[in-house]
C-alpha cells in the first residue's frame, strides 16, 4: 500500500512498533497504549548489532518491543527485481480475527452441532430442515458466532445487542434493524442454539479441567453421564413406542461400532480407544502415544491434526489467494485504500480506529490480501546475498558492502556471539528470514516468537507498519486478561 510501492517487511530471528512514519507527537495510540522507545545509534554503535541490542536491553525489554533507526549512511539496496518478482498471497478475513476457533468454521460447527443433537437431544444425524429468517435461510453457524462475539445470549439480551448481531449475520443489509427483526432473531437463537451454547460453554470449561475424554460418538464425561442443565425440546407422541424404537436402534448402532471402531491413523489399531484423540475437523483419530511428539493427556479446547492445519482449503485465519507481481499488488492495495479513505492524507489513528471497528464486527465483512511467511530461500531476499545476481542499477562495491553487513538479516543469526551459530539447519523464520508484503489492514495475530527468541524486522519501503507488544514479564497477565475478556474465544490451558 502507498504512493510508491506496497509495504515489504523482512523478518529475521532477532521488533519495531509503528515502523516508518509515526510523528514524534504521536506518543500514544488511539487505544491509549504508550509508544515503545525509538533508538538512533551512531555510526560507531551501529557496527555491532548484538552489542547494541545488549546495550538497549534494560530499557527496551520492559516494553517488549522497540524501534531502531539506522544511521543515514546505511541504505541497503532492495535486492529483488520489482518487475519479475512474484509471490503467493493469502486472503485474510479481518472481521474474523477475533472469532477463529473451530465453531467459526461451518464444517466444524456442523460436526459439533450434529454431535450435540445426537448425544444430548436424541436426534439421529440427518439433513436438517432449513431455518428461515426474513424469507431467506438463516446461517446458524454465523448466528452462533455473532452472539458469541458479543458475549453470549444472556449478555446480548441484557445489553440489547440484537441489532449488532443482525448486522453481523446480514452484513449486506444496510437499513435500520426493526424491533420485529430483533425479536424474531432472538427467538430463533433461543429455539435452535441456546441449549447448544450451554453445552458448548460447559464443554470448554470442563475440558480445561481434563474432565472430558474425546471418544467415538461424541464427548462424554468420565462417569458417562450427559451434561447437566441442558433443556432439549423433543416432541414425544408415544413414549413407550419411541423407547422401544430407540432401544432397537441403539442395538444396531452397537453392532456397527463393533465392526467400524475408531482406528488410529498412525498404527492402524482400534485398541485403546480411551486414549484416542479425534481431530475436531476431519474426525480422524490418533492415539496420544502415536503422536509426534506424544501427548500425556487430552489437550483442552479444540485439536486439529497436521493434515488439517496444513490444508490448502483453510489455513486457520488465512485462505490461499492469487499470485501477484509487486506492481499488480500495489494497484490492488491502492484501490482498497481509496475505497476506505478516499484520496486524502490519513493519520495512523484513523487507520487504527477503523481496523479495530472491523475486528469488532461493526463494519461487516472485510477481506484483504497478504503475502506472508515468504521463505527467502525460495522467493529471494530483499537484502543482497553473495550468490544472488548483481542488479544493473547497483554498484558492485555497494552490493558487496551490504552482502556482508551484520545488520543484513541473512547474516544476523550467524554473527560471533550468537547462540544460533550452533544451528546448522536452514530453519525458515529462524536461520532464514521471512519476507512479507502487506496492504491496508493486513495483519498478523498475537503470538510468541519461536523459542521466545528476539525477532528483528526491517521495513524495506512502503507505508508504516503498526505493532502491539506485551513484555515477556507480563505474558501471564496478558493471557489471564484475554481469557477473562474473551471467554467465548479463549479457553484456559
Q: Which pLDDT belongs to residue 250?
A: 64
pLDDT (average), residues 3-23: 46
CA distance 342 to 332: 14
CA neighbor of 128 nearest in space, from 109, 153, 100, 147? 109
Cell of 425: 539447519
**Cross-strand pairs, 67:** 38
The answer to whether 275 and 288 are in contact (CB under 8 A) is yes
Domain residue ranges in the chain: 7-96+317-485, 102-234
Cα 276 to Cα 270: distance, rounded to the nearest angstrom: 9
**Position 226 confidence tier, pLDDT thresholds 50, 70, 90:** very low
Q: In this structure, how many other beta carbons lie within 10 angstroms of the beta carbon of residue 81?
A: 13
C-alpha distances (whole Å) from 224 to each of 6, 212, 215, 274, 349 are 57, 10, 11, 13, 54
| Confidence grade of residue 290 (pLDDT, cut at 50, 70, 90) | confident
* pLDDT, greater one: 156 or 248: 156
H/E element, 477: helix 475-485
List Cα–Cα distances, 101 to 96, 98, 370, 487, in angstroms: 10, 9, 21, 12
For the beta carbon of residue 484, count every other beta carbon within 10 angstroms.
10
On whether the CB atoms of residues 76 and 405 are closer than 8 A, the answer is: yes
Would the pLDDT of 45 be above 90?
yes
Of 40-54, 245-259, 274-288, 421-435, the range with the highest mean pLDDT is 40-54
Report the distance separating Cα 441 and Cα 22, nearest Å. Answer: 17
Q: Which CA distances in Å does 344 have to 330, 337, 419, 466?
A: 18, 10, 48, 20
Residue 419: Cβ within 10 Å count: 8
75-79, 161-165, 397-401, range with the lowest pLDDT: 161-165
8-state DSSP, 256:
H
Q: For 102-234, which CATH superfamily applies? A: ARID DNA-binding domain (1.10.150.60)
Between 206 and 216, the higher pLDDT residue:
206
Q: What is the dihedral of CA 200, 99, 294, 283, to 10 degrees?
A: 60
| Per-residue pLDDT, 6 | 44
- pLDDT at residue 493, rounded to an integer: 43
List all residues 6 or more positions away from 85 whose beta carbon is below 8 Å from its beta carbon: 325, 326, 379, 380
Give the pLDDT score at 169.
84
The residue ranges of DSSP E strands in 13-167, in sequence order, are: 38-39, 67-68, 86-93, 132-133, 136-137
Query: Residue 65 in contact with residue 16, Cβ under 8 Å?
Result: yes
For residue 44, pLDDT over 90 is answered with: yes
Residues 458, 398: Cα–Cα separation, whole Å: 19
Choice among 239-253, 386-400, 407-421, 463-477 with the minimum mean pLDDT: 239-253
Among 71-80, 244-253, 315-324, name the most confident range: 71-80
Residue 269: the pLDDT is 81
For residue 222, pLDDT over 70 is answered with no
pLDDT of the residue at 62: 92
Cα 75 to Cα 37, 386, 397, 436, 482: the distances in Å are 22, 17, 13, 19, 40
Cβ atoms of residues 278 and 284 within 8 Å: yes
Give me the chain's average pLDDT, please.
77
Nearest to 408 by CA among 388, 378, 392: 388
What pLDDT does residue 328 have?
A: 93
Please tell me the predicted confidence (pLDDT) of residue 186: 94
Mean pLDDT lowest among 123-137, 233-247, 467-481: 233-247
Compute the distance between CA of residue 18 and CA of residue 316 in angstroms, rounded to an integer: 26
- Strand extents, DSSP E, 111-258: 132-133, 136-137, 212-215, 218-221
Which of 231, 23, 31 has its CA nearest to residue 121?
A: 231
Q: Give percent of the chain with pLDDT exceeding 70.
A: 72
Averaged pLDDT, 44-56: 96
What does the alpha-carbon distance between residue 81 and residue 332 come to, in Å, rounded to a whole number?
19
The number of C-alpha atoms within 13 Å of 270 and in the hemisphere containing its C-beta is 8
Gap between the Cα atoms of 330 and 385, Å rounded: 25
pLDDT (average), residues 258-271: 72
- pLDDT at 52 (0 to 100): 96
For cell 451454547, the residue is 197
Give the pLDDT score at 85: 92
pTM over 0.75: no
Question: Is there a contact between 246 and 122 (Cβ–Cβ < 8 Å)?
Answer: yes
- Look at the domain 7-96+317-485 and name its fold: Jelly Rolls (2.60.120)
**What is the tens place of the pLDDT at every residue in 52-108?**
999 999 999 999 999 999 999 999 999 999 889 999 998 888 887 775 444 456 777
Cα separation, 265 vs 268, in Å, equals 5
Q: What grid cell was written down for 369?
A: 490480501
Higher pLDDT, 358 or 230: 358
Tell whether the model's pLDDT for residue 465 goes beyond 50. yes
The pLDDT of residue 409: 95
Amino acid at each position: 500500500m502507498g504512493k510508491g510501492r506496497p509495504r515489504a517487511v523482512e523478518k529475521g530471528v532477532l521488533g519495531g512498533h509503528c515502523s516508518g512514519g509515526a510523528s514524534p507527537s504521536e506518543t500514544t495510540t488511539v487505544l491509549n497504549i504508550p509508544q515503545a522507545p525509538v533508538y538512533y545509534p551512531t555510526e560507531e554503535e551501529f557496527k555491532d548489532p548484538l552489542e547494541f541490542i545488549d546495550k538497549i536491553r534494560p530499557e527496551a525489554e520492559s516494553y517488549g518491543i522497540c524501534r531502531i533507526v539506522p544511521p543515514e549512511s546505511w541504505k541497503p539496496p532492495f535486492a529483488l527485481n520489482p518487475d519479475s518478482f512474484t509471490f503467493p498471497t493469502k486472503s485474510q478475513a479481518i472481521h474474523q480475527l477475533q472469532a477463529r476457533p473451530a465453531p467459526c468454521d461451518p464444517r466444524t460447527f456442523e460436526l459439533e452441532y450434529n454431535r450435540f443433537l445426537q448425544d444430548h437431544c436424541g436426534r439421529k444425524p440427518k439433513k436438517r430442515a432449513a431455518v428461515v429468517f426474513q424469507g431467506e435461510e438463516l446461517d446458524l453457524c454465523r448466528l452462533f458466532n455473532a452472539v458469541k462475539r458479543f458475549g453470549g445470549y444472556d449478555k446480548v439480551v441484557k445489553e440489547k445487542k440484537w441489532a449488532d448481531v443482525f448486522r453481523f449475520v446480514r452484513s449486506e443489509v444496510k437499513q435500520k434493524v426493526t424491533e420485529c427483526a430483533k425479536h424474531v432473531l432472538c427467538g430463533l437463537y433461543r429455539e435452535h442454539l441456546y441449549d447448544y451454547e450451554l453445552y458448548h460453554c460447559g464443554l470448554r470449561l470442563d475440558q480445561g479441567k481434563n474432565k472430558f475424554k474425546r471418544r467415538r460418538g461424541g464427548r462424554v464425561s468420565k462417569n458417562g453421564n450427559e451434561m447437566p442443565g441442558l433443556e432439549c425440546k423433543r416432541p414425544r407422541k408415544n413414549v413407550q413406542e419411541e423407547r422401544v424404537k430407540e432401544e432397537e436402534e441403539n442395538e444396531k448402532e452397537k453392532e456397527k461400532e463393533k465392526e467400524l471402531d475408531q482406528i488410529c491413523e498412525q498404527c492402524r489399531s482400534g485398541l485403546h480407544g480411551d486414549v484416542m484423540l479425534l481431530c475436531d475437523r476431519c474426525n480422524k483419530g490418533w492415539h496420544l502415544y502415536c503422536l509426534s511428539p506424544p501427548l500425556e493427556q487430552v489437550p483442552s479446547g479444540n485439536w486439529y491434526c497436521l493434515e488439517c492445519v496444513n490444508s490448502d482449503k483453510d489455513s486457520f485465519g488465512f485462505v490461499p489467494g492469487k499470485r501477484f507481481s509487486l506492481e499488480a499488488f500495489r494497484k490492488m492495495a491502492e484501490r482498497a485504500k481509496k475505497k476506505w479513505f478516499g484520496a486524502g492524507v490519513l493519520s495512523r489513528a484513523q487507520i487504527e480506529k477503523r481496523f479495530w471497528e472491523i475486528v469488532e464486527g461493526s463494519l461487516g465483512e472485510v477481506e484483504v490480501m497478504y503475502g506472508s511467511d515468504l521463505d527467502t530461500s525460495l522467493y529471494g531476499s530483499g537484502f543482497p546475498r553473495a550468490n544472488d545476481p548483481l542488479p544493473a542499477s547497483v554498484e558492485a562495491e555497494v552490493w558487496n558492502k551490504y552482502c556482508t553487513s551484520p545488520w543484513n538479516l541473512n547474516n544476523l543469526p550467524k554473527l560471533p556471539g550468537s547462540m544460533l551459530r550452533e544451528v546448522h539447519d536452514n530453519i525458515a523464520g529462524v536461520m532464514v528470514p521471512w519476507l512479507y508484503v502487506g496492504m491496508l489492514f493486513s495483519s498478523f495475530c498475537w503470538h510468541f516468537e519461536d523459542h521466545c527468541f528476539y525477532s528483528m524486522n526491517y521495513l524495506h519501503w512502503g507505508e508504516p507498519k503498526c505493532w502491539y507488544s506485551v513484555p515477556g514479564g507480563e505474558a501471564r497477565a496478558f493471557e489471564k486478561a484475554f481469557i477473562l475478556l474473551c471467554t467465548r474465544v479463549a479457553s484456559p490451558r
